[in-house]
Amino acid sequence: MFIEQLYTGCISEAAYYIESDGVAAVIDPLRDIEDYLLLANKRNATIKYIFETHFHADFVSGHLDLAAATGATIVYGPGTVTKFPVHVSKDGEEFEVGKLKIQVLHTPGHTLESSCFLLKDENGKDHAIFTGDTLFVGDVGRPDLAQNVDKDITTEVLAGMLYDSLQQKLMPLADDIIVYPAHGAGSSCGKNMGPETYSTIGEQKQSNYALQQQTKDEFIKAVTEGLAEPPQYFPINAKINKEGYESLDAVLAKGMRPISIAAFKEKMQDDSVIVLDTRHSDLFTQGFVPGSISIGLNGRFAEWAGSLLPFDKHMVLVTEAGKEKETIIRLARVGFDKIDGYLEGGYEAWLAAGEEIDMIIDVEADELAMDLPFDQNLVVADVRRETEFADGHIKTAVNLPLEELTDPGSMANLDDNQNIYVHCAGGYRSVIAASLLKRQGFHNIRNVLGGWKNIEELSDKFEFGKTAEVLN
């Protein structure tokens, strides 16, 4: 028996490769399937099954491309309806993978078709369970996302289903069974996942708040309270996974086209084209193609791209040399297919050609502290989430959460004559925000290096507050 967890940290996603006797199965693959094919080839195995725990909302699965490449059968849980061929399993159905067996446990609640896959070893003993978004380390899947597919079902009804699934299907399992979830800390598919990427049933019975003794009503309240709005791309990705998509090879073929400076400038005149700059934020602030949106590959790139960029527009890229393919793959993971190419020679070629550039001024936190008391025209825009802002902020700051900056109405109280100092927690989000503000016509922008981390260290130079003042 061979099991490998393939964890992708930037989207907190875990796929799994399981193999026995030259036969393999993959659970919840990403859209870029090369790692699974390489692993099977290296181990001289054939991928027979692709198991999907549910219709994922936070990434586009690789089920279709992997099935096309291997001939493997795609398996979903009971009640699944798709626009492509799949095996819709029955609750309790078993599949042979070499000398192993994988049993389907239908566990609706996160979504209606959500299922866990119980792995039995060569002796028929329960060994591990792949829980998808039903059970995480320290958390459970949020029950409000299936409404993207079925508007008639309420969050509370789904939460009640999740309670029954956990109590009837997972709680009776032996304590030593390994729990392999689909996500770890940082994912928006739960509220507060632990840092570990696997656990055991026994550990979760002891420590997971959702598995403690409580009534169904208490459980429903616990899992539905404090849910943040899901990212805007979640329903889009769920629909793509349900209905199908263009192959990644086709997306790469379109996206991996170098565009000359002259052609790039032409595309920039088209309102339906977005210029996305994926260089490190430190490089972006020093100079960029005017009108570009900065989302650096060095952060949670795909999530922020999905949360902030429109899916109905075409996109051209400015990347660091050699990062073009990585950028396209990571965009495709969250459903971006309209990528028309990249600037040939990157920003360096644009600069060398003498083309117009734009910049964002970086300032240290102590410079903000010096300017704040004397500049009556200064506005501090804190682009962290409302919960972060409420925990502590510069007293006079306004909260402008990054995820809301695509709506021009969120900036109604800002004036282009103001000196706007932008900060987040550490510096990644503030540069994204500064680029969006630039696109909206605000030009007196300063990016506070190190964000709240550096500001908080200067407690003797700032006056702090803890009451959220949200700009809307």
For the chain, 472 residues long, the average pLDDT of each consecutive 10-residue run is 96 97 98 97 98 97 98 97 96 98 98 97 98 97 75 88 98 98 92 92 97 96 91 94 96 98 96 96 97 95 96 97 98 97 98 97 96 92 94 94 82 83 97 95 94 94 72 42
Residue 12, in any domain of the structure: yes
Q: What CATH number is attached to the domain comprising 24?
A: 3.60.15.10
The answer to whether residues 338 and 366 belong to one domain is no
Whole-angstrom CA distances from 351 to 261, 321, 344, 445, 446 are 10, 15, 12, 21, 22
Q: What pLDDT score does 468 carry? A: 45
Would 288 be classed as within a structural domain?
A: yes
Question: Is 307 found in the same domain as 412?
Answer: no
SS3 of residue 246 by DSSP: coil
Quick one: 66 and 195 in the same domain? Answer: yes
**Looking at the structure, do residues 44 and 164 belong to the same domain, yes or no?**
yes
Work out the angle at residue 107's Cα, subtended by the Cα atoms of residues 104 and 113, and round it to the nearest 5 degrees.
Answer: 85
Domain end position, chosen among 207, 236, 265: 236
Q: What is the pLDDT of residue 191?
A: 83
In whole angstroms, what is the distance from residue 314 CA to residue 183 CA?
30
Give the up-direction half-sphere exposure of residue 81: CA atoms within 13 A in the CB hemisphere. 3
Same domain, 85 and 166: yes
Distance from C-alpha of 263 to C-alpha of 258, rounded to nearest angstrom? 10
Structural domain ending residue among the three candidates 236, 263, 289: 236
- Kindly state the tokens that stand for 298: 């060095």
* Structural domain boundaries, residue 264: 246-352
Q: What is the DSSP letter of 191?
A: S
Q: For residues 336 and 266, state if they share a domain.
A: yes
- Return the pLDDT at 229: 86
Both 150 and 224 in a single domain? yes
Cα–Cα distance for residue pair 190/61, rounded to 1 Å: 18
Q: Which two tokens stand for residue 411?
A: 């900036």
Same domain membership, residue 365 and residue 347: no
Choose among 374, 390, 370: nearest CA to 382: 390
Q: Which CATH number characterizes residue 439's domain?
A: 3.40.250.10
Give the integer Cα–Cα distance in Å for 345 and 261: 9
Angle of helix 301-308 relative to helix 324-332, nearest 10 degrees, comes to 60
Can you give the pLDDT at residue 146?
75
The last residue of one of the domains, among 352, 382, 401, is 352
pLDDT of amino acid 147 = 55
353 by DSSP, 3-state: which? coil
User: Do both 131 and 96 map to the same domain?
Assistant: yes
Residues in the chain: 472
Residue 314 lies in a domain: yes
Instruction: Please report the pLDDT score of residue 470 as a whole number.
Output: 45
Q: Give the Cα separation of 137 and 450 in Å (integer).
A: 31
Q: In what order do the strands lie in the sheet with 314-318?
A: 258-259, 339-343, 314-318, 273-277, 293-294
Q: How far apart are CA 433 and CA 296, in angstroms?
A: 12
Residues linked to residue 336 through DSSP beta bridges, in sequence order: none
Burial of 443: CB neighbours in 10 Å, binned 0-12, 13-18, 19+: exposed
Tell whether 225 and 79 lie within a shared domain: yes
Give the CA angle between residues 291, 293, 297 to the nearest 5°: 145
Q: In which element (H, E) is residue 273 found?
A: strand 273-277
Instruction: Give the whole-angstrom CA distance, residue 117 versus residue 452.
Output: 42
Alpha-carbon distances, residue 22 vs 46, 52, 446 (angstroms):
6, 21, 58
Asked if residue 261 is part of any domain, the answer here is: yes
86-103 residues labelled b (16+ CB within 10 A) or e (exposed): beebeeebebebbebbbb
How many angstroms from the chain centroid is the CA of residue 224?
Answer: 20
Is residue 472 situated within a structural domain?
no
Give 288's DSSP letter.
B
- Same domain for 46 and 195? yes
Total domain count for the chain? 3
Residue 449, CA distances (Å) to 175, 288, 456, 459 in order:
47, 18, 12, 16
Query: Does residue 471 form part of some domain?
Result: no
Helices (H), 189-321: 201-207, 216-224, 234-243, 248-255, 261-268, 281-286, 301-308
Q: Is pTM, for the whole model, over 0.85? A: yes
Specify which residues 76 forms β-bridges with: 88
Burial 311-327 (b: 16+ CB within 10 A, else e): beebbbbbbbeebbeeb
Same domain, 406 and 345: no
Task: With respect to residue 470, please indicate whether it lies within any of the assigned structural domains.
Answer: no
**Alpha helix (H) ranges present in 117-215?**
155-165, 201-207
420 inside domain: yes
Token pair 């795909």 is at which residue? 302
